[in-house]
Structure 1
Amino acid sequence: MEWPKLKNIILLLLVCVNVCLLLLAGLQGSRSARYEEETRQAAIDVLEQNGITFGPERLPADTQLRPLTVTRDRESEAQVAQTLLGSAERQGENEVRQLYVGEGGMAEFSMNGTFSVSLQPGAWVKEHDRSHVDASQACLERIGFQGALETEERDEASGQVRLTFHQEWEDAPVFSCRVVLTWEGDELVHLEGSRLSGTSTQASARGEPLSAASILVRFLSGINEGGYVCGRVDGMTAGYLLSGAARPVELTPVWRIDTDSGSYYVDAYTGVLTPDQT
């Protein structure tokens, strides 16, 4: 047989082999996706068989968050004080609680990341036509706090507005780092909460994170074992909780499950459930 014809036959055989491999890979991927969807639906069915309605349209994608170790940066506290108070000076030599006083008010920072800022009238005023949410977000960004709004409370009688934001770290929410901003009319009068700043490194993981379906089953088990009562799951969000108050601190991956009776956290690796105490 002539070489050109033989070469064409070999090339055709190689093409056929590649096509067969692609078909097998596609079939395997289709079976895997179907099995995953069936597993997710089975978890929802188990939940609803136990009297708990699953509100979201579908289970969220599995989380890939890994444990992190964060070394706190206390030098940023002086920058935050300067940003909010204008010219501010540190008072005293207490390393556990650092106090800054300036023309715009007073700021206190603790070693565990909590802080409180009281502002003098007129120290921080928003444009009248700007929303409190937008102005609060801009203020938090000025002090290096990347976050998302959780709640907004208004007291019509006093004109006071309280907004709660949770921090985000590497685009994931840190549920235990929250800041509450209090406005009186167009003036910001108080900030209080917990913030995280510094550098993070990946900590040793405890195997692979549990799937979202497994988390839902662990949630049901934890609810029953703890004697908690709920009738509906309103949402599931993957994020972090702080572990420890010293330096460095750990960011533990968790799922926050919001229900009609409160919120719960399920460890993304161990499946242990704890109620939200805030």
Structure 2
Amino acid sequence: MLACVNFFLLVLVLHRQQEIQSYSENAREDAITVLWNTCRIELDRELLPEEMELLPMVVQRDQALEQSQAAALLGELTATPSDSMRYEGANGAAQFYINGAFSAEFVQGAYPVGESTPEEFALTLMEGLGIDAQVQAADTAAWPRQAVVIVRESWEGVPIFDCTATLVFQDGELREIQRDTSHRLVGTPQPVSSEGCLDTVTLLLRFADYVKQNSRVCSQITGFSAGYAMDAQTEPTRLIPTWYVTTDNGAYYWNAVTGDIRPEQADT
């Protein structure tokens, strides 16, 4: 008798799961149809990702990490900040800010690139700081006279869209990390389980509404990438699960927690 009851309960659970899956698939198809009917934007069903799996994170400032990264950049430190945030060392000087912005100016001869490419050199430098990074963009047409490489930081393989560093090379060596376009994680991210993410159907409908209200013109969504946006205006800093969505006419960041949408060009 007990075995029969357990079997009956299992059948009910499986049936319920099938109903939920069917409802979810139908909702996705309906959202794709709404996107086409209201905005004339195509989306291949195969491109639509599963639900966001990343958790919101918080990052507390780690001053020991900051000092170790400054030493890795500058060599033996000859001056460390008390109230200011300026470090000095044999290789030059660097500034680290509470919101994650940082910059550095290097003395001539401190960082010759040698046989490496600027891109390879940039990744090796970031690795020495304990930063997992990938090259996002590079302008090396005038190398070795000059070059600019932009790298993006990742956390456990997940890109942090706002954490980029711009490295400027001149005459075959690294001379500067630009402040206005360079940000780093100020500590170790910790998950926040109290916040959830919106489902992809809701975000698709939000995008359709955004396109109509802002007269954005695109005809096709071409890709989705999951990552984090960084909100450094709060204390502690927050990492927000975000979809990076490409279209045939620009790209967008979809905040998976609030549903806010911003175009990529707003960052430039």
Separation of aligned partners in 2, 1:260 and 1:158: 34
Do the aligned residues in 2 keep the contact of 1:67 with 1:252 (CA within 8 Å)? yes
Q: TM-score, normalised by structure 2?
A: 0.81
Separation of aligned partners in 1, 2:64 and 2:118: 29
**In 2 relative to 1, CA 42–168 (structure 1 residues): closer, same or farther, beyond 3 Å?**
same
Which string of whole-angstrom CA distances, capped at 9 and with x for unpartnered residues, describes residues 149-198 of structure 1?
A: 32233323765332222222344322122112233475333223011122
Do the aligned residues in 1 keep the contact of 2:102 with 2:183 (CA within 8 Å)? yes
Q: Unmatched 5+ residue regions in structure 2?
A: none
**In 2 relative to 1, CA 70–228 (structure 1 residues): closer, same or farther, beyond 3 Å?**
same
Separation of aligned partners in 1, 2:80 and 2:197: 45
- The reply to whether residue 179 of structure 1 matches residue 168 of structure 2 is no
| Residue 243 of structure 1: how far off its partner (Å) | 2.3
Separation of aligned partners in 1, 2:249 and 2:79: 44
Amino acid at match of 1:163: V
1:6-155 alignment, distance < 5 Å: 14=3, 21-49=9-37, 50-54=39-43, 57-90=46-79, 93-95=82-84, 98-126=85-113, 128=115, 130-155=116-141
**In 2 relative to 1, CA 232–122 (structure 1 residues): closer, same or farther, beyond 3 Å?**
farther
Separation of aligned partners in 1, 2:45 and 2:95: 41
Question: Which of the two has greater strand per residue?
Answer: 1
Separation of aligned partners in 2, 1:38 and 1:159: 57
Identity %: 30
Q: Which has the larger displacement, 113-122 or 242-251?
A: 242-251
**In 2 relative to 1, CA 220–271 (structure 1 residues): closer, same or farther, beyond 3 Å?**
same
**In 2 relative to 1, CA 199–54 (structure 1 residues): closer, same or farther, beyond 3 Å?**
same
Larger Rg: 1
Do the aligned residues in 2 keep the contact of 1:53 with 1:233 (CA within 8 Å)? yes
Q: TM-score, normalised by structure 1?
A: 0.79
Separation of aligned partners in 2, 1:122 and 1:232: 49
Which string of whole-angstrom CA distances, capped at 9 and with x for unpartnered residues, describes residues 53-99 of structure 1?
A: 3368421121133332221113323222221221232266443xx22
**In 2 relative to 1, CA 255–91 (structure 1 residues): closer, same or farther, beyond 3 Å?**
same
1:216-231 alignment, distance < 5 Å: 216-231=204-219
Amino acid at match of 2:108: P
The number of equivalent residue pairs is: 262
Do the aligned residues in 1 keep the contact of 2:58 with 2:238 (CA within 8 Å)? yes
| Residue 218 of structure 1: how far off its partner (Å) | 1.0
Do the aligned residues in 1 keep the contact of 2:74 with 2:91 (CA within 8 Å)? yes
**In 2 relative to 1, CA 191–54 (structure 1 residues): closer, same or farther, beyond 3 Å?**
farther
| Residue 17 of structure 1: how far off its partner (Å) | 5.5
